[in-house]
Amino acid sequence: MQDLLGDAARARVYLQEAGFHFSRSLGQNFLLDDDWNRRIAALAGTGEGVNVLEVGPGSGTLTAALARAGARVLAVEIDTALAPILDKMLAPFPGAKVVFGDITKREIPALVDGEFGEGAAYRVVSNLPYAIAAELLPRLVSGARPPESVTAMVQREAAERMQARPGEKNWCALAARMQYFCAIETVAILPPHAFTPNAHVESALIRCRYLAPGERPAQPRDEKAFLACVDAAFAMRRKTYANNLAGAFGIPKSGAAELLEGIGLAPAVRGEALSLAEIARVSDAVSALR
C-alpha cells in the first residue's frame, strides 16, 4: 500500500480499519496532510542524521515525514490504541521508534540520552497536544538536556501569549520563561479545517531556537533566583511586585520596596510591567541579601 498511497492516505486507511475513535480529552486532532507535514519537517531543519524527539505522533504522518527527511525519530505517544496504526505507518522507517507513556511524567534527559546517546544534540518537533503545551515547553527548554530547537504546533492564542512583550496584556510567566531561554517566531498559521477532526481554534506553528547563556536577553548572577523572581512577578497581578517578592522570599514588604527603589524601580511597580533585564536586576539584589 505504501507504494500506492501517500502517508496521510495510508493513515486514514489504517485509522478506519482499526475503528479508531478520536479522543477530545487527549487533544487528538491529527494533521493528515502530506504537504504540511513535509513543510514542518523542513521548517524544523530536520535532515540526514538529525535526532528528533516527537511528542504525540498520533497516526504517525509527521513521524513519517521526519523519517523520510533522514531524521532519527523517537516519538512518545500516550494513547496505546494507536499502537497497531503506528506499527503499520512506521514499518518502512527503521529510524523511527515509538515509546508509549505520558511525556509529562517522563525524565526527558534519560529518555533522549538513552535513545540518541549521552549529550547528543536533538530537536523537538511536534503537533503538540495543546493541553500540555504551557507545562511541557518551558520544561523542555529549561531542563538539564534542552533541545537545539523546538518546532511545535500550538493554539494561535498560546503562540501570541509566548511572544508577548513586557507591559502587554499577554505578558506572563510563560512568555518570560520561554523568551529567556529561546528566540521564538511564528512560522505558519493553520485553520481549524486543516486537522482531522477539525480543531476548534486556529493553530500556529512556532519555532523556538535555544539560546546559549551569553545570548539571552538577561544575564542574572543566579538563574534559580531569577526564575523565582519571574514567577513572583506574575504570582498575583493585583498586588505590587514588592508584595509578591515579600511572599516569595520571606522578607518584609518594606524591605522589598526598599530593594526595588535601590535598583531604580518604583516601590509600587507591578511585576508584569518589568522586562527580563529588570527582573534580573531584582534577582541579583535578592541574591545579595542571602
DSSP 30: B
Q: Are residues 151 and 244 in the same domain?
A: no
Q: What Rg do the C-alpha atoms of the chain give, in angstroms?
A: 21
CA–CA distance, 46 with 40 (Å, rounded to integer)? 9
What is the chain's mean pLDDT, rounded?
95
Burial of 129 (C-beta count, 10 Å sphere; 0-12/13-18/19+):
buried
206 has which bridge partners? 152, 186
Alpha carbon of residue 45 to chain centroid: 17
Q: Report, as an integer, the average pLDDT of 32-48.
A: 96
Of 187, 215, 243, the position where a domain reaches its end is 215
pLDDT at 4: 66
121 and 139 belong to one structural domain: yes
Confidence of residue 19 (pLDDT cuts 50, 70, 90): very high
What pLDDT was estimated at residue 3? 54
Q: Are 161 and 80 in contact (CB under 8 A)?
A: no
Q: Is residue 1 situated within a structural domain?
A: no
Q: What whole-number distance in Å separates Cα of residue 71 and Cα of residue 41? A: 9
Residues 189 and 129 in one domain: yes
155 and 282 belong to one structural domain? no
Length of the chain: 290
Residues 255 and 136 in one domain: no
pTM of the model: 0.93
CATH number for the domain spanning 145: value is 3.40.50.150
The residue range of the domain holding 269 is: 223-289
- Contact between 273 and 166 under an 8 Å Cβ cutoff? The reply is yes
Are 205 and 240 within one domain? no
In a domain? residue 2: no
18 falls within a domain: yes
Regarding whether 11 and 108 lie in a shared domain, the answer is yes
CATH number at residue 255: 1.10.8.100
Last residue of a domain, one of 215, 242, 271: 215
**What is the tens place of the pLDDT at every residue in 104-158?**
999 999 999 999 999 999 999 999 988 899 999 999 999 999 999 999 999 999 9
Whether 206 and 248 map to the same domain: the answer is no
Residues 110 and 145 in one domain: yes
Per residue in 78-119, pLDDT (tens digit) is 999 999 999 999 999 999 999 999 999 999 999 999 999 999
- Distance, in Å, from the CA atom of 138 to the CA atom of 176, rounded to the nearest integer, reads 10
pLDDT at residue 23 above 80?
yes
Say whether both 183 and 258 belong to one domain.
no
pLDDT at 269: 95
